[in-house]
A = this chain, B = another copy of it.
């Protein structure tokens, strides 16, 4: 049986070029005792992948050169050898990487119940992005009923769940997204109270219009000028959740938030988060999100492209914004 795997071959400067990776084919080796073979169905594309390509200190080690590109995945166990955590036929999610098959002892993989939702959602609203949104807005953002919540990257995998959870908890929610389609989606389908198209609208005017009393929680996925503008509108004791900075990941020099002294004036805080810290509570969060999805209170959009050969153009969509909701590669 032939397997295809995408190896990291070069560290990028700026926006990764296609030659940062190499697609390799090889015959699948036999399983050792204790190993399982996972046929991977869906690969998750996440902004965090860009950071893992850098050779620098972070919350997890970088992907080594010559290694399979790290990625979350959903797949099915199709073969086992001896005593393993899974049985043939089990659906699992974990760090399968960008490859058609994954051989593992099961560490870092979790069984999933396909009755809860369609498989792609297990790397979307029921996977890392959903967990990030859940713990980010509830435990880091500490939202209270009646808060005004502003979220950037609002039509993305994390942002769209952040906004919907905040709505469920009784907050006023305003999203920032790029383009009229995404803004219509936020308002008409997700029920946001406001949506600002940062590509065509003046962001300051938009925030003033939708958040006339200022912002209690700003959930930031993008960094750069949008973070800087949001900081101007913090209310007293506001919380800024630093979840990501997609606008900066390909920059050689990061742009710092020059309005950070708004934290001082408003006794506000800015806190970073890494979803891995909440692993012990994932199950509880998944149950909540699955229930909200079943009740129609939380909608989950996925944008799916097909074929491991399509990895590179699909990956670029993370940065040019050409997708809606969770970006996924189907194998």
A243 to B259, CA, bound (A): 14
Contacts of A57 in B (CB 8 A): 265
The verdict on A260 contacting B260 (CB below 8 Å), with A269-B272, A271-B268, A272-B268 known, is yes
Total interface residues in chain A, CB < 8 Å: 33
A221 CB, min distance to chain B CBs, angstroms? 11
A57 to B243, CA, bound (A): 28
Chain B binder among A157-165, A248-256, A295-303: A248-256
A263: CB under 8 A from chain B? yes
Q: In the complex, which residue of chain B has the Cβ closest to the Cβ of A234?
A: B272
A284 to B57, CA, bound (A): 43
Asked if residues A274 and B265 are in contact (CB atoms below 8 Å), the reply is: yes
A276 CB, min distance to chain B CBs, angstroms? 10
A112: CB under 8 A from chain B? no
Q: In the complex, which residue of chain B has the Cβ closest to the Cβ of A254?
A: B258
A186: CB under 8 A from chain B? no
Asked if residues A272 and B263 are in contact (CB atoms below 8 Å), the reply is: yes
Q: Determine which of B228, B254, B259, B262 lies in contact with A261 in the assembled complex, contact meaning CB atoms within 8 Å.
A: B254
Asked if residues B267 and A270 are in contact (CB atoms below 8 Å), the reply is: no
The verdict on A263 contacting B267 (CB below 8 Å), with A255-B258, A256-B257, A258-B254 known, is no
Complex interface residues of chain A between 191 and 242 (CB less than 8 A to chain B):
223, 228, 242
A302 CB, min distance to chain B CBs, angstroms? 25
A130: CB under 8 A from chain B? no
A277 CB, min distance to chain B CBs, angstroms? 6
A215 CB, min distance to chain B CBs, angstroms? 14
A235 CB, min distance to chain B CBs, angstroms? 12
Complex interface residues of chain A between 46 and 64 (CB less than 8 A to chain B):
57-59
A253 to B261, CA, bound (A): 12
Asked if residues A264 and B258 are in contact (CB atoms below 8 Å), the reply is: no
A78: CB under 8 A from chain B? no
A243 to B242, CA, bound (A): 20
A285: CB under 8 A from chain B? no
Q: In the complex, which residue of chain B has the Cβ closest to the Cβ of A56?
A: B265
A242 to B240, CA, bound (A): 14
A106: CB under 8 A from chain B? no
A227 CB, min distance to chain B CBs, angstroms? 9
Q: Determine which of B263, B264, B273 lies in contact with A264 in the assembled complex, contact meaning CB atoms within 8 Å.
A: B273
Asked if residues A270 and B270 are in contact (CB atoms below 8 Å), the reply is: yes
Contacts of A264 in B (CB 8 A): 59, 242-245, 272-274
A104: CB under 8 A from chain B? no
A-B contact list, 26 entries, CB within 8 Å: A223-B261, A228-B256, A242-B260, A242-B264, A243-B264, A244-B264, A245-B264, A248-B261, A253-B258, A254-B259, A254-B261, A256-B257, A256-B260, A257-B257, A257-B260, A260-B260, A261-B272, A263-B271, A264-B273, A265-B272, A265-B274, A267-B271, A267-B273, A267-B277, A269-B270, A270-B271
Extra pairs beyond A254-B259, A257-B257 (8, CB < 8 Å): A242-B261, A253-B258, A254-B258, A255-B258, A256-B259, A261-B272, A263-B272, A269-B270
7 residue pairs, one from A and one from B, having the closest CB atoms: A256-B256, A264-B272, A263-B272, A256-B258, A269-B271, A256-B257, A254-B258
